[in-house]
């Protein structure tokens, strides 16, 4: 495909933002902050991972790649304020945390981009200027993220879940051998003791309103016992699709309730890759 045509087919991933970490210590700094092995990054693929607090809870789920000596981060626009907190850890490192920039996506490939994770062929790159808007393509993109699965966090779900709960162990987003990073001891202990008690599941439901379930919405079983928390949700016409962190005992096919006892929504749980 002609380069011009490829760029015309690309569009603004408006719910995401990005930044570049540059300088002689950029790799070393990121290696000490992120859950995956930063030394394995390339410019051809985007790697999912997380930045955690000292309790091992994920503050931000990110995508990262190495590009022209910089480590590029893509993260939810709603969490960009946490970048200021990241700068607190940069003391003693010869790095520069650049300003936030836009994110350009494309179904298929485009020049100088990195391959997006998942079964759907997608690519992504940073852009200093706002890319064109394409609401229909963006909607399709968000649905594909659910099936990848890519559990983007929001302020209401930040700091709540271990990386294992969000499925990051399954896509090389979590390393137990790379060395220290915030929360590493807690995360490794849970892994080696075999005490991972929660998992990432998908869900679908018939939507009675025009608003998707909010991230952080609590889920319950038929006896109104706590059974999980919504991470993300997208409406597709009259059907809602989403991701939730649930106890290991909850399996695909289970039915859970979201909302109060009087105005509840019934969700059918599923494996994320079967969504959409």
Percent of the chain with pLDDT over 70: 96
pLDDT category of residue 2 using cuts at 50, 70 and 90: very low
DSSP string, 24-81: TTHHHHHHTTBSS-GGG--SSB-EEEEEE-TTS-EEEEEEEEEETTEEEEEEEGGGGG
CB neighbours of 179 closer than 8 A, spacing ≥ 6?
31, 32
Indicate the helix (H) or strand (E) that contains 140: helix 135-147
Q: How far is CA 229 from CA 19, 128, 181, 220, 254, in A?
A: 29, 35, 26, 9, 15
User: What does the chain come to in residues?
Assistant: 276
Average pLDDT over residues 19-45: 97
Q: Are 107 and 56 in contact (CB under 8 A)?
A: no
pLDDT category of residue 1 using cuts at 50, 70 and 90: very low
Percent of the chain with pLDDT over 90: 85
Q: Are 24 and 117 in contact (CB under 8 A)?
A: no
Domains of the chain: 3-186 (3.30.1360.120), 198-274 (2.40.30.110)
User: Is 166 a residue whose pLDDT tops 70?
Assistant: yes
The rounded mean pLDDT for the chain is 93
Confidence (pTM): 0.93
- pLDDT at position 31 is 97
- pLDDT at position 263 is 57
Query: Residue written as tokens 């003391």?
Result: 91
pLDDT category of residue 13 using cuts at 50, 70 and 90: very high
Structure tokens at 136: 């229909």
- pLDDT at position 83 is 86
**Burial of residue 144, with CB atoms counted within 10 A of its CB: 0-12 exposed, 13-18 middle, 19 or more buried:** buried
**Burial of residue 181, with CB atoms counted within 10 A of its CB: 0-12 exposed, 13-18 middle, 19 or more buried:** buried
User: Is 7 a residue whose pLDDT tops 70?
Assistant: no
SS (H, E, C) 161-226: CCHHHHCHHHHCCCCCCCCCCCCHHHHHHHHHCCCCCEEEEEEEEECCCCCCCCCCCEEECCCCCE
Alpha-carbon distance of 146 to 273, in angstroms, equals 8
- pLDDT at position 3 is 42
pLDDT in tens, 68-86: 999 999 999 999 999 888 8
User: Is 222 a residue whose pLDDT tops 90?
Assistant: no
Average pLDDT over residues 238-267: 89
Alpha-carbon distance of 230 to 214, in angstroms, equals 7
- pLDDT at position 276 is 76
Alpha-carbon distance of 114 to 121, in angstroms, equals 11
User: Is 5 a residue whose pLDDT tops 90?
Assistant: no
């Amino acid at each position: 495909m002609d380069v011009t045509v490829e760029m015309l087919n690309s569009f603004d991933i408006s719910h995401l933002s990005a930044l570049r970490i540059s300088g002689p210590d950029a790799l070393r700094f990121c290696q000490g902050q992120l859950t995956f092995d930063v030394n394995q990054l390339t410019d051809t693929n985007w790697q999912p991972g997380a930045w955690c607090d000292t309790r091992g809870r994920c503050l931000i789920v990110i995508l990262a790649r190495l590009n022209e000596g910089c480590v590029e981060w893509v993260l939810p626009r709603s969490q960009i304020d946490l970048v200021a907190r990241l700068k607190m850890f940069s003391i003693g490192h010869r790095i520069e945390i650049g300003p936030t920039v836009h994110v350009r996506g494309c179904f298929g490939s485009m020049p100088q981009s990195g391959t997006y994770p998942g079964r759907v062929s997608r690519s992504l790159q940073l852009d200093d200027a706002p890319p064109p808007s394409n609401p229909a393509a963006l909607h399709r993109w968000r649905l594909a993220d659910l099936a990848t699965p890519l559990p983007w966090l929001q302020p209401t779900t930040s700091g709540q879940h271990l990386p294992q709960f969000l499925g990051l162990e399954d896509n090389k987003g979590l390393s137990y051998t790379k060395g220290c990073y915030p929360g590493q001891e807690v995360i490794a202990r849970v892994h080696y003791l075999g005490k991972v008690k929660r998992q990432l599941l998908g869900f679908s439901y018939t939507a009675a309103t025009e608003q998707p379930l909010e991230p952080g919405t609590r889920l319950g079983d038929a006896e109104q016992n706590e059974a999980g928390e919504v991470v993300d949700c997208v409406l597709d016409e009259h059907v809602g699709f989403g991701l939730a962190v649930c106890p290991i005992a909850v399996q695909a096919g289970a039915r859970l309730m979201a909302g109060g006892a009087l105005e509840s929504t019934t969700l059918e749980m599923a494996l994320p890759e079967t969504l959409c």
